[in-house]
Structure 1
Amino acid sequence: MEKMNKAFEKVKMMVGMEVEDEEQQAAALDNENSFAFMDDFNRNCTLTTKQSMLVFLKPIKFGITFTLGNLLSLGSTAFLIGPKRQVSMMLDPVRIYATAIYIASMIIALFCALYVHNKLLTLLAIILEFGALVWYSLSYIPFARSTVSKIMVSCFDTEF
């Protein structure tokens, strides 16, 4: 690496560019490396308008990938804690209804996307699946569902 840097310095001197001393190069390299990671991260994490609107432009394609992603996430947690423990936690009386609604919403989303091929129904199934995913996820956080329920009731309460 050092030989390559010296070669670049020689090329810069040949074409008439200024060559920085080693301390300036090291400081510039440290600053460049610290910002390079975040620049690469931001560049790779941005979506184009078409990509961000995929759910509305192609809801069938998004519905399939979203549902398969949810199935993979369930499988990954089963891999981490074991399938027997995963099933027992999913069938716990506290979250059995949330689990049933979540699994049913995934089946409905796949049915609408793969069999019915209706964009509007698939979009509604995706919304249902997302809501079921949130409710199912909240079942693992103590007092989260009751807190969210109280907040929603207070937000949509029409009595003055």
Structure 2
Amino acid sequence: MSLPFNVQHMQGRYGVDDPMADDPGLFHLSRTERLWAFGGCFVVGLALSIIGSALVFTGSVAAFAVCYSLGNTISLLGTCFLVGFKKHFKMALAPVRLTAFLVYIVFLALTFVSAFAFDIAALCIVFAILQYCALFWYSASYIPYGRKIIKSTCGTFAKAI
């Protein structure tokens, strides 16, 4: 009989296959230190994204692009502390995530191009929103049935309209 969620027969401390146990990571951090590093990156990334969003109302398109994109990237890199940087990069290049990862990188670059080369605020905001959507779609691939839930929810909303 197969058990859900990769439950092992008391293999790890919690009896669950622990993705943090496979790779000691770049800094050889303990489990608790990795969780703190992930949380710290998430909080810093979120704060930078909020600051960037506020900066768009001041008219500073370049500052918005830098803060918002840097915030998203730091939040994404924070997840590397959970499974290890090498494993996370391999997982990002897996066929199920590769397109979403590349779309995120493209919209990240287009956000900077629209801010620095063209200095068009509306275009920069559109690319930043698309960057967030690509990051959200990429992140959903790590949640079991995450993309399927998003698709069905969007389909339900579309039918309601």
Alignment equivalent of 1:69, drawn from 59, 68, 71? 71
Name the larger-Rg structure: 1
Correspondence list, 1:39-78, <5 A: 53-58=54-59, 60=61, 61-78=63-80
Question: What TM-score results when the alignment is normalised by the length of structure 2?
Answer: 0.58
Letter in 2 for 1:126: A
RMSD of Structure 2 on Structure 1 (CA) = 2.5
| Cα displacement string for residues 61-105 of structure 1 (whole angstroms, at most 9, x for unaligned residues) | 222101012222333333553322111110112211111111111
* Cα distance in 2 between the residues matched to 1:52 and 1:75: 20
Between Structure 1 and Structure 2, the one with more helix by share is 1
Alignment equivalent of 1:129, drawn from 128, 131, 156? 131
Could you tell me which runs of 5 or more consecutive residues in structure 1 were left unpaired when the two chains were aligned.
1-49
| Cα displacement string for residues 2-33 of structure 1 (whole angstroms, at most 9, x for unaligned residues) | xxxxxxxxxxxxxxxxxxxxxxxxxxxxxxxx
Give the 4+ runs in structure 1 shifted more than 6 A.
none
Shift of the 56–111 alpha-carbon distance from structure 1 to 2, 3 Å rule, reads same
Correspondence list, 1:13-92, <5 A: 53-58=54-59, 60=61, 61-92=63-94
Tell me the residue number matched to 1:115: 117
Alpha carbons 2:65, 2:112 under 8 Å: kept? yes
Question: What TM-score results when the alignment is normalised by the length of structure 1?
Answer: 0.59
* Cα distance in 2 between the residues matched to 1:98 and 1:151: 19
Aligned residues: 110
* Cα distance in 1 between the residues matched to 2:96 and 2:52: 37
Tell me the residue number matched to 1:39: none
Could you tell me which runs of 5 or more consecutive residues in structure 2 were left unpaired when the two chains were aligned.
1-50
Which is further off, 146-155 or 54-63?
54-63
